[in-house]
Amino acid sequence: MNPRERQLSVYAGEEAALAGAGRVFRDLREVRVYLDDLISSDWWADRWPHVEAIPVARTRSGRFSGYAVEGSGEIRLRTERQVKLPSVGSLRESVVLHEVAHVVTPGGGHGPAFVNALLALVRERLGFHAYGALLAELRRRHVVGEGDADDPDQPEDPDPG
Domains annotated on the chain, with CATH: 3-140 (3.30.2010)
Task: Please list the pLDDT of the chain residue by residue as tens digits (161 residues).
Answer: 899 999 999 999 999 999 889 998 988 999 999 999 999 999 999 999 999 999 998 876 665 677 777 778 888 887 755 444 444 456 889 999 999 999 999 988 999 999 999 999 999 999 999 999 999 999 999 999 866 665 454 445 444 44
CA distance 114 to 64: 19
The whole-number pLDDT of residue 85 equals 46
CA distance 1 to 11: 14
